[in-house]
Amino acid sequence: MHILIILNDPPYGTERSFNGLRLARALVGGDTQISVFLMADAVICAKAGQKVPQGFYNLELMLKSVIRKGKVLMCGTCMEARGLRDEETLEGAKRSTMKELAELTRNADKVLIF
């Protein structure tokens, strides 16, 4: 089964991206293939070198665990609009396009949007 999770919210300030990644991490493994597509402010979730207060969740670490067994893609247009360069992002997260998102959506068994 292939599940596509689309995140739209920023990494901090709301918990939507946090909860979407919690679900992605719970679903990863077995015969389930997970793709996470970061759009809008969610592309900042893939910024490398995040520093958060002690005891606070860290979306960089959460994404790394998804990347190990799944796929993390970032909207290239959204990255450009926010000044996020490829070299500032996590290793394994890949710049992508709406065309690729459309293809992932067509091929997914389920699409979840946060």
pLDDT tens, residue by residue, 73-83 = 999 999 999 99
Helices first, then strands: H and E counts in the chain: 4, 5
Hey, what domains does the chain have and what are their CATH numbers? 2-113 (3.40.1260.10)
Provide the pLDDT for residue 108: 98
Mean per-residue pLDDT, 23-41: 94
Provide the pLDDT for residue 16: 97
The residue whose two tokens read 């997970």 is 34
Provide the pLDDT for residue 55: 87
d(CA 95, CA 74): 5
Provide the pLDDT for residue 4: 98
**With 90 as the cut, is the pLDDT of residue 30 above it?**
no
pLDDT tens, residue by residue, 40-99 = 999 999 999 999 998 899 999 999 999 999 999 999 999 999 999 999 999 999 999 999
Provide the pLDDT for residue 29: 81
Question: Angle between the 16-27 and 59-69 helix axes, to the nearest 10 degrees?
Answer: 30
pLDDT tens, residue by residue, 5-19 = 999 999 999 999 999
